[in-house]
Chain A
Amino acid sequence: MVKIKKNKKVEINEEINNADIPGRNEVFEDTVSEAMEFLNTPSISDNLIADKRLADDSTVVHDAPPMLKIEHLKKRYPNSEVYSVKDLSFELRPGEVFGFLGKNGAGKSTTIKCLTGILPFTEGKIEICGYDIAKEPMKAKMNMGYVPDNHSVYERLTGREYVNYVADLYRVPKADREERLNMFLDLFKLRFAVDRQIKSYSHGMKQKICIIAALIYEPKLWVLDEPMMGLDPQSTAEILSYMREHVRKGNTVFFSSHNLDMVAKVCNRVAIINDGILHCVIDLSDPANRETLEKRFFEISSTEEERRAWNV
């Protein structure tokens, strides 16, 4: 049984539907009728085009313990004189989508790699769902899903093998993994390729299988590093749709991006980092903050001369 919340519309891509993919008709038969139910409600992509805000501020739980707590994080790479991240602190609440902005080399990916356990950090403390990533890494990692920016994935496995492997690592029971996998395969329209070796996937399909693998265990904190890079608008809409769905269940989404418009529409709050320093955390439930986001981003990440030259 496919579970898709009724207040979300699942876009049926006409092109994909009309394409002649062997066996696809049977596969989609069960889900098309359900997906069609949502066609009458405004879609994520419609909202994106119509410049409507997608974030739902009512999902944020303000008085609950933080899902992610970063305190005075400092990171300096070996053989480097300078700190890539300098004294960074912030907290993420349950039910919020949190955007992380910064120009290239600002320290976004370094911060994300520190909080996911990929990189050791020089000073500070990172807690995921109350577990210190340095002291209790296994418990912290059990609560976190990560989607990298490079779509690196074990390409010799089939999509299903990879997702099941990740589900095994996170001890997901059979019934849950089957139900979730079916839902995601329909949501991301990847059923026709799930039993194929990943090396035959396109860029977008690899990104989708990474996302499915990261969500198969329903992590409380879902971290994505520039997830929309290189994706088509349809796929972007699907991912944004599920981000909202994920936080509605009381989870948290933390993602880095360069797309200011999208961040303004989707996120509850956003942090801007430049040269490793966290300059501000902006509450986007305030319409004035949304309108001035781009201006503030450029003020922080560029000089006045540059802004004049770019005419922004």
Chain B
Amino acid sequence: MSEKFNKEARMARRDKIAADATAIRTLLKIDLKSRFGYGARIGAGNVGKWIFNFVMTAGMYAVIVFLIYLFTKMFVLRPGLRDGFIVIVSMASVILQFFICTVTLIKALYYSGDNEILLRFPVNGTQIFIAKSIFVFISNFVITMAILLPFYISYGVILQKVGALNRPPEIFYPVSILTTFLSSFLPFFLANIVAIPLMKVMNLVKNNYGIVLFVTIAAVIGVFVAYMQILQSLVNFYVEKDMALFSPDMVARIDRFAANAFPFNLYANMLLGRHPWINFIYVMLLTVGVGIIAVVVIKKWYFSTILDGIENQRASFTKRTSDKPLPPFISYMKREFNGILRSFNYSFQYLVMAAAAPVMVYYCNALAGTVGSGSVGNNILPGISLMVITIFVTIIVSFSSTAISREGGCFYHTKIIPLPYWQQVLAKFLLYSGVATLSILVCCIAVAGAKFVSFTDAVMIFFITEFSNIALTSLCMWFDTTSPTFNFMGDGELVGANKNVALALALGLVFAVLYGLMTMIGGFLPTFAGIAIKHGARSIMGLLLIVSGIFAILGVVLLFVRLDKRYNKLYQ
């Protein structure tokens, strides 16, 4: 009797495990299909597209690998960084993976709108959690293999060429793969631990739009400044060739740091063959230990955090506002602004870039100035400033190319209200170009204040970029009043860039490069196309002032002429 009972229990357990495995496999397939197109059939209809995508991806990856090889060669051969290089690369990889994993986990596990849909199917919360966790791990693993492994392989190839590889190649390369594989677990488990308190904090502050915006701006500026500082150091190193950054003393300091950089040195020691088995055991113990903590944290707080999020969403932003009447035009503008401010995606695209642009322009100018003025003199600085500011203006105003698309399911509303279409479009135009104008003004003050350009040049740059701002905003909005892309899923938010954004960005970048190059060339050439350039860059900027002014007028005309006819044709 008891044996029969045990057998039945065993069978039931086996059936449950099989059912769990099937459910997890199916859920994982859904995620992989949506992220990587896994399982998509290649037929006669899409074979051309598939080949094109494959060639483009392979080509881009080949370029990245080549750059990684050059980068590795630059540090490993010239200053003679060896162990330190591997430790720093492993450290950078683990830290980067940690950030990527945290963001992917939060998106997949906590912010994913499909949790609610999936729970309607015969799957339970644990199965969804496991499937999504595996998906995040696979995503992370693919990224790690694609980025970290080329560094390890390049290191091996370079040192093998000069006969300095301290392990046999037939061991070094397989161990590279093993080390890369093992190094993707630690950041994954750490991200699982960190994601929960981070989500709790996000649930607490998500309706404080001002705070979220401020923190985002500060974070973007902080990361950008840090990145530019590193890039500036590398450029100095490359341009001046004085080895100041990687002097023997500096190399010794990096090596000392690498020797103590726990736990990153464990991976390097494993790879480089310094007590490989002991370091392997340390890595395994550390990974398993952090893994156990992650499982405990998840078991205890995962579901309560998700529930918090759902409840928090229900009890969302509350504010008692005044009933004071506003003119229709102003009220429309206010509604549009609140809609942007209260969406993380939109405020990031619209406000964060505009607020961060002056800092970015300052650093880009400093960096480009270091490279450019060293070879062709300071005369190119107005051209560089003009190009960099125009690039940032392009990025900021590209947001306006979803002006109509962002209405989503509420597009009907713009058709029924007694506010003429031209006024609705003008309200949006002023809102988008106005923010860009303020950003341009601060950018010009920054480049003039830092003496990158003279006051007169800064004024000219302001007007050229302002005219470009008007022209680009008009053009972007014209794209969207011609063929908007409405999203009816979820809350209707346009998270990804649509074709209009890509087109606007491409056009803006072409203009930025053209304007910038012309001004730079004018800065140091005595003649251009056979015409004598009397006042250097300033005469070219004078010409660009007229050209950009004409583009601004044409842009506004393009946007507003026959607007009613175009708008009337639009429907969802």
Contact = CB atoms under 8 A, between A and B. Distances in A.
Interface string A178-220: 1001000000000000011101100000000000000000000
A157 B338 contact: yes
A242 B339 CA distance: 31
Chain B, interface residues (CB within 8 Å), range: 35 or more
Q: For B319, B335, B339, B492, which residue has the most chain A Cβ atoms within 10 angstroms?
A: B335
Given A141-B418, A158-B317, A168-B330, 14 more contacts: A118-B416, A138-B418, A138-B420, A141-B417, A146-B412, A148-B412, A154-B413, A160-B320, A164-B325, A165-B331, A174-B324, A177-B325, A195-B319, A199-B316
Interface in B124-149: none
B328 A146 contact: no
Interface in B330-375: 330-332, 334-335, 338-339, 342-343
Contacts of B456: none
A120 B417 CA distance: 15
Given A117-B416, A156-B343, A200 B314 contact: yes
B568 A196 contact: no
B316 A174 contact: no
A304 interface: no
B418 A116 contact: no
A181 B324 CA distance: 13
A200 B313 contact: yes
Given A156-B342, A169-B419, A118 B328 contact: no
A177 B416 contact: no
Interface string A243-262: 00000000000000000000
B116 interface: no
A155 interface: yes
Contacts of A161: 319, 321, 335, 338
B317 A197 contact: yes
Nearest to A168: B331
A156 B339 contact: yes
Interface size class of A (residues with CB under 8 A): 35 or more
Nearest to B343: A156
B223 interface: no
A158 B321 contact: yes
A160 B338 contact: no
A218 to B, nearest CB: 14
Given A154-B410, A173-B325, A118 B338 contact: no
A298 interface: no
A161 B569 CA distance: 29
5 shortest A-B CB distances, which residue pairs? A152-B409, A168-B331, A156-B342, A197-B317, A141-B418
A172 B327 CA distance: 10
A52 interface: no
A230 B279 CA distance: 63
Nearest to B340: A156
B335 A152 contact: no
Contacts of A141: 416-418
16 contacts: A116-B412, A117-B415, A141-B416, A141-B418, A144-B416, A153-B413, A157-B338, A158-B318, A168-B326, A174-B325, A195-B318, A195-B319, A196-B316, A196-B317, A197-B316, A199-B491
A154 B406 CA distance: 11
B491 A178 contact: no
A170 interface: yes
A20 to B, nearest CB: 14
A167 B325 contact: yes
Contacts of B36: none
B5 interface: no
Contact of A181 (B323, B327, B410, B568): B323
A113 B415 CA distance: 10
A24 interface: no
Contacts of B568: 120
Interface string A79-106: 0000000000000000000000000000
A29 to B, nearest CB: 18
A150 interface: yes
A171 interface: yes
Of the listed residues B315, B318, B412, B571, the one surrounded by the most CB atoms of chain A closer than 10 A to its CB is B412
B275 to A, nearest CB: 57
B317 A152 contact: no
B408 interface: yes
A119 interface: yes
A119 B571 contact: yes
Given A155-B491, A157-B335, A196-B317, A164 B416 contact: no
Contacts of B416: 116-118, 141, 144, 146
Q: Which of B318, B408, B492 has the most CB of A within 10 A?
A: B318
B412 A154 contact: no
A271 to B, nearest CB: 21
A156 B338 contact: yes
Contacts of A281: none
Interface in B277-332: 313-321, 323-328, 330-332
